Amino acid sequence: MGGFPTVTDVALAAGVSRQTVSNVMNSPGIVRADTRQRVEAAIKELGYRPHASARRLRTRRSSTIGIRLDPMIDGISGSVLDRFLHALTEQADAQGLRVLLFTATSPEDEITQFRRLNDGADVDGFVLTSTFAGDPRTRWLIENGISFVTFGRPWGADDMNDPQHLWVDVDGWSGLHEATRAQQEAGARRIAYIGWPSPSGTGDERRRGWYDAMMERGEVSGEELARLEVVTTDGVSQGTAAMQRLRQQAGLVDGVLCASDSLALGAMIANPERVPVTGYDNTPVAAAVGLSSVDQAVDEVAAGVLELLTGEFGGKVHGAPESDEPRHRLITPRLVVREFAAIPMDVAR
């Protein structure tokens, strides 16, 4: 077959009409799942790429998703958003979509970028990260009827079922609950927790997973449980200081859970007894030092974001109100258990 593959070539390979191929690329939600999979397989096998300029003229859509490039936090926990961005870009490309990156210095600056990109018809919708209670970005997008999906729930009233906010999130409660259970089943009783100050939507969910698992087992009193918790801001040095404080207020513990890999790495540094430590995010650093950690399954998050953005609702905040289809995806994380290795403080320095 000479030259570049065409829509006709894809239709012949998949055994469907040209219109069905067009529907798969532009309105996949109206195509039967088995047919869509057959067409997508043919597109991948043939290496077909639609002519972007022609499609934009025909559909008045840019086939482009806008997402803010968050600043690197500490090179550890910040890698989660980096991995999500890679997964989103790869999966969007497989669907014939592009990802446009932009920067912003604040939520208000990000709204300014939304307005600029929307007015210029540069993007069809946005993916937001780092959501928080009272987020002005989502409110502005809803008021202006612009398509968006967030990685992170609204963290407000009725956040699980708000029809105006399409979101995908990782179940932090489930992740820490499983991690606590794993240490309990290994024989640990006094399991401590190093977490973030409240209120923090994400942090509070993770803490609740540890707290509920401990209360369900009933081996530690509420008073003792209070001594087993240390609250601090995120970071490696903060994790080290928190572990030292924990030893002072609770004595020797059987295990430690942390709200992030950054805190967990710090806790490992101040851990000469080699008490089992579990982090959260499953970063490359965790794998390198043998740290057990909760994996956020960012590939599944990216797939869920694209499904909501391009599927039945199309990211629209007022789309298909009569539908029973959930407007959110709550992803169950996976606990990755590794052989523990302590980091001596003199080496860490």
Q: What is the pLDDT of residue 122?
A: 84
Q: Which fold has domain 7-50?
A: 434 Repressor (Amino-terminal Domain) (1.10.260)
Q: Which residue has the higher pLDDT, 328 or 89?
A: 89
Q: What is the pLDDT of residue 180?
A: 97
pLDDT beyond 80 at 249: yes
Q: For the domain 64-164+298-329, what is the CATH code?
A: 3.40.50.2300
How large is the average pLDDT for residues 303-326? 67
Residues in the chain: 349
pLDDT beyond 90 at 110: yes
The least confident of 45-49, 53-57, 175-179, 312-316 is 53-57
pLDDT beyond 60 at 2: no
Per-domain residue ranges of the chain: 7-50, 64-164+298-329, 173-296+336-348
Q: What is the pLDDT of residue 67?
A: 96
Residue-wise pLDDT tens digits, 210-240: 999 999 999 999 899 999 999 999 999 999 9
Q: What is the pLDDT of residue 53?
A: 44
Alpha helix segments (H runs only) across the chain: 7-14, 18-26, 33-46, 52-59, 79-94, 107-119, 136-143, 172-185, 201-217, 222-227, 236-250, 261-269, 284-289, 298-310, 345-348
Amino acid at 120: G
Beta-carbon count within 10 A of 101 CB: 10
The least confident of 99-103, 140-144, 225-229 is 140-144
Q: For the domain 173-296+336-348, what is the CATH code?
A: 3.40.50.2300
How large is the average pLDDT for residues 266-277? 93
Q: What is the pLDDT of residue 74?
A: 55
Q: What is the pLDDT of residue 337?
A: 94
How large is the average pLDDT for residues 167-191? 96
pLDDT beyond 50 at 319: no
Q: Which residue has the higher pLDDT, 158 or 245?
A: 245
pLDDT beyond 70 at 19: yes
pLDDT beyond 70 at 312: no
Residue-wise pLDDT tens digits, 155-166: 876 666 777 789
Dihedral sign for Cα 70, 75, 81, 84, please.
Answer: positive
8 Å CB contact between 250 and 227: yes
pLDDT beyond 80 at 58: no
Q: What is the pLDDT of residue 119?
A: 85
Q: What is the pLDDT of residue 6?
A: 81
Amino acid at 172: G
**Are 64-164+298-329 and 173-296+336-348 equal in CATH topology?**
yes
List beta partners, residue 176.
Answer: none
Share of residues in the chain with pLDDT > 70 (%): 85
CA–chain centroid gap for 88, Å, is: 10
